[in-house]
Chains A and B, each alone.
Chain A
């Protein structure tokens, strides 16, 4: 063994000499421009509100099946108690709302189940005139009673939909006027009222409350905690509602979900797929029925949503022809694994913007990040552009604040913090973090600058972010520990504010209200201001803006708010997301829109005659 080691040691010495003789300067390859990797990049800025990525020269025809792959399966499909995005993506095709987005202006004012609506002069009361020709999938007519029942179910305090109910916290009364009129009043003139009061799924009363348990109670009763405590029927209804067989996974014999939408629930085979079929009796089958409505009802016979959790398996399934559409693939797949001429011939790749942004959140209540100079320094220490270019393949759109980057609330006048490690170190030293005890780690008041970056176990991108930050901060005397946590634990720690740094994605809307995340009311008690952001001016701006109905004035306040965010850096705002996807070119009418999930399947149709030509 001694001899063997001696030999190895001499070999090592020789290798070192050899390696150093030809010591090279770091070879850096010219990064070839990735571009769009043969796909279409959709931004939907300016006047462009819908983008059609498929050829427009053919007229749509009915028939065909679309198989798409999702990464997660919903735990159940009860539209009010579910919190999963996967469930919403299915249920949005089965249920409908009173109002919907206008596809031209992307304002939430297109009547859908409502024929028309009026807002009282004081702005408190909404009156919806319900259409008289809407029928549920089982043939019963949809009336104002169903709408009233739906709002009662949401407001029932025992129904497991607290997150959803919180948006309705200002509702004071609701009632019907005859069969086709629904009136709802709110105690405040909140600017998102129209979106909330007109934007919830209407569910059939005869299915969910066949015994009419809630008939006896008015909305006012349900809001009165004395009544709800005393009346057993209210609790009884909620218990039945929370466990209702509608939308429960039971394999082949799943009870069909009854909605009113253009698609009818077909099957849910747990762990395999969820499918829905075209509603041939859809009430809204006349494409010209509503002005401004740019969809023509549904064309595809059937949509199958396959659940494939592994990203590599999803792409393999697409290539093998088992699925037709991957709405969200990994950036590395989009840019490096789908560039063959064969693939590009058969599939259309698309990257589209969704209103969701990634950020790194600094817990403002931890000693390390309580000083805004340190938070600014952290932002300047993160080379966001390189990260976007090399790790995210350029799919991110840098953002300075939480508002939708192409929306009217976003303040484009703010200059992003640059990547500037030298200035950052100065700021950190200004804030008092200097290596006093000479152990190579900065400290202040005896606390070493040694924090933990929590990473959700499944997220490769935040793992990479954490690894890079650890390596970079080590060089300036700051220790980063990386902790991988299971998603459920991660969220739990977030709510309890037991973390130093998190990296997350926030899914917002085209227009959003910063109250939930940024107002100091929502710190602690499991409120959503997880970072503990406190700022008197920001608080008052947020409060006033909520009830300011004049858009110009409101957005002026939000512009100022973004200046505060920029200065305070409670988050390091990273990027608005572009989701990369791919679909089989046989599909036409493929339209991309700025609201989640970025596409609607109504207009898709399958050109089956192409199948023969392309093979």
Chain B
């Protein structure tokens, strides 16, 4: 590869190929935005101010919330009830607060404004308990993306290892792993997941991620196995064997890096599929616990209010649609960019 254009590395070539696909580039930027929302959700939508001046001192309640959650800090006495909006009545001269763009948390309810259509106060409207839909969507994005990435990471890990073993060794190991794959794919995946979820004691997104991970690895395993079969008789593999490297080193240092790129492409599609399945499960009420806002559960709550509550279906539905689409487009772009036949 490097003979053709010594100045360009492999990733540069792939990068320039990828950039030729406008749609994929736009999609990648949308993924960046989603990642941004994922990381800064608490600063985008929260009922706590980011910075506030209260009775002579300055506080950072959103940061404090992280401290309380993860580092065992406590709320200051004045903020024990965490109702910052009520504190406004006690403001003294010179007190102020800077709120996030959407000054509502995903669980904060206000019955008086329930089922409001989009307005200036609630850009995407409110649900049946008067919770802000946009805030729920922002926090729901966290669940969706987290489920997508973690589930795929789990199944890529399992799939790659099993596929590598099957492809590299062949024989009995290959037969066993192949039969395992066949048994797994005979179950319709959604039904298998629903069955497992139904038996679970507690509802949590961690369970969903693990279940999705444990049921999704077959495709990756087959893919890796195929790639291994292709590569395992290459000269460098034979050389590695001749040098007396242990199988572990041969598999993971020499063969795997050369087979991984197509797997990563399928993983991108996998993220989209996992997001869709999570939404489906939440829609059916099997997914995240009720207090956890997710796109799927928002859609589900909208079912009862249709046709009046159109904003409850439209916005989360669009969010799911856009997310799944951009992951697929990026996956396609990546696939094309990595395809050596298209390279000029």
Residues of A whose CB lies within 8 Å of any CB of B are 1, 4-5, 8-9, 12, 15-16, 19-20, 23-24, 26-29, 31, 311-312, 330, 332-333, 336-337, 386-387, 389-391, 438-440, 455, 457, 460, 463-464, 466-468, 470-471, 474-477, 482-484, 486
- Cβ of B232 within 8 Å of any chain A Cβ, yes or no, is no
Could you tell me if B112 and A464 are in contact, using CB atoms closer than 8 angstroms?
no
Q: Which residues of A contact B112 (CB under 8 A)?
A: 28-29, 31, 390
> Would you mind naming 25 contact pairs between A and B with Cβ atoms under 8 Å apart?
A5-B32, A12-B101, A16-B50, A19-B99, A19-B101, A19-B103, A31-B112, A332-B304, A336-B115, A390-B111, A391-B128, A391-B129, A438-B74, A440-B74, A440-B80, A460-B304, A463-B290, A464-B128, A464-B129, A471-B107, A476-B81, A477-B80, A482-B289, A483-B289, A484-B203
Which residue of the partner chain, among B98, B202, B308, contacts A337 with CB atoms under 8 Å?
A: B308
Smallest distance from the beta carbon of B284 to chain A beta carbons, Å?
10
Dominant SS among interface residues on chain B? loop
The closest CB in chain B to the CB of A474 belongs to B82
* Complex-state Cα separation, A366 to B107, whole angstroms: 27
Could you tell me if A386 and B109 are in contact, using CB atoms closer than 8 angstroms?
no
Which of B36-44, B211-219, B314-322 faces chain A? Answer: B36-44
Contact size class for B? 35 or more
Could you tell me if A8 and B111 are in contact, using CB atoms closer than 8 angstroms?
no
Q: Which residues of B contact A477 (CB under 8 A)?
A: 80
**8 extra interface residue pairs, beta carbon distance < 8 Å, beyond A5-B36, A337-B308:** A16-B43, A16-B98, A23-B99, A28-B110, A332-B305, A391-B111, A467-B109, A482-B291
Could you tell me if B303 and A312 are in contact, using CB atoms closer than 8 angstroms?
yes
Could you tell me if A311 and B304 are in contact, using CB atoms closer than 8 angstroms?
yes
Digitize B40-67: 1 where CB-to-A-CB distance is under 8 Å, 0 elsewhere.
Answer: 1001100000100000000000000000
- Cβ of B261 within 8 Å of any chain A Cβ, yes or no, is no
* Complex-state Cα separation, A443 to B44, whole angstroms: 33
Q: Which residues of A contact B99 (CB under 8 A)?
A: 16, 19-20, 23
Could you tell me if A475 and B121 are in contact, using CB atoms closer than 8 angstroms?
no
Digitize B293-314: 1 where CB-to-A-CB distance is under 8 Å, 0 elsewhere.
Answer: 0000000000111111000000
The closest CB in chain B to the CB of A438 belongs to B74
The closest CB in chain A to the CB of B86 belongs to A475
Could you tell me if A440 and B304 are in contact, using CB atoms closer than 8 angstroms?
no
- Contacts A15-B101, A16-B50 given; indicate if A467 touches B203 (C-beta within 8 A): no
Could you tell me if A28 and B36 are in contact, using CB atoms closer than 8 angstroms?
no
**A-B CB proximity, top 6 nearest:** A390-B111, A27-B121, A15-B101, A475-B81, A4-B32, A8-B36
Could you tell me if A468 and B109 are in contact, using CB atoms closer than 8 angstroms?
yes
* Complex-state Cα separation, A333 to B303, whole angstroms: 11
* Complex-state Cα separation, A12 to B39, whole angstroms: 13
* Complex-state Cα separation, A49 to B164, whole angstroms: 78
Smallest distance from the beta carbon of A181 to chain B beta carbons, Å?
55
Digitize B104-145: 1 where CB-to-A-CB distance is under 8 Å, 0 elsewhere.
Answer: 000111111111100111000000111000000000000000
Which residue of the partner chain, among B72, B98, B107, B128, contacts A20 with CB atoms under 8 Å?
A: B98
Dominant SS among interface residues on chain A? helix
Q: Which residues of A contact B110 (CB under 8 A)?
A: 26, 28
Which residue of the partner chain, among A15, A330, A438, A471, contacts B108 with CB atoms under 8 Å?
A: A471
Which residue of the partner chain, among A336, A440, A486, contacts B308 with CB atoms under 8 Å?
A: A336
Could you tell me if B202 and A483 are in contact, using CB atoms closer than 8 angstroms?
yes
- Contacts A12-B101, A311-B304 given; indicate if A29 touches B81 (C-beta within 8 A): no
Digitize B230-255: 1 where CB-to-A-CB distance is under 8 Å, 0 elsewhere.
Answer: 00000000000000000000000000
Q: Which residues of A contact B116 (CB under 8 A)?
A: 29
Could you tell me if B81 and A312 are in contact, using CB atoms closer than 8 angstroms?
no
* Complex-state Cα separation, A457 to B284, whole angstroms: 10
Smallest distance from the beta carbon of B190 to chain A beta carbons, Å?
18
Could you tell me if A8 and B289 are in contact, using CB atoms closer than 8 angstroms?
no
Could you tell me if B128 and A16 are in contact, using CB atoms closer than 8 angstroms?
no
- Cβ of B285 within 8 Å of any chain A Cβ, yes or no, is yes
- Cβ of B185 within 8 Å of any chain A Cβ, yes or no, is no
Q: Which residues of A contact B307 (CB under 8 A)?
A: 337
Which residue of the partner chain, among A1, A439, A474, A484, contacts B72 with CB atoms under 8 Å?
A: A439
* Complex-state Cα separation, A468 to B202, whole angstroms: 20
Digitize B254-280: 1 where CB-to-A-CB distance is under 8 Å, 0 elsewhere.
Answer: 000000000000000000000000000
Could you tell me if A482 and B290 are in contact, using CB atoms closer than 8 angstroms?
yes
Q: Which residues of A contact B107 (CB under 8 A)?
A: 467, 470-471
Could you tell me if B304 and A484 are in contact, using CB atoms closer than 8 angstroms?
no
- Cβ of B180 within 8 Å of any chain A Cβ, yes or no, is no
* Complex-state Cα separation, A333 to B128, whole angstroms: 13
* Complex-state Cα separation, A4 to B26, whole angstroms: 12
Which residue of the partner chain, among B114, B290, B303, B306, contacts A467 with CB atoms under 8 Å?
A: B290
* Complex-state Cα separation, A569 to B200, whole angstroms: 33
* Complex-state Cα separation, A440 to B290, whole angstroms: 23
* Complex-state Cα separation, A386 to B303, whole angstroms: 23
Q: Which residues of A contact B305 (CB under 8 A)?
A: 332, 336
Q: Which residues of B contact A27 (CB under 8 A)?
A: 113, 119-121
Which residue of the partner chain, among A9, A24, A455, A474, contacts B121 with CB atoms under 8 Å?
A: A24
Smallest distance from the beta carbon of B217 to chain A beta carbons, Å?
28
Smallest distance from the beta carbon of A490 to chain B beta carbons, Å?
14
- Contacts A1-B32, A439-B72, A483-B202 given; indicate if A470 touches B291 (C-beta within 8 A): yes
* Complex-state Cα separation, A434 to B85, whole angstroms: 25
Q: Which residues of A contact B72 (CB under 8 A)?
A: 439
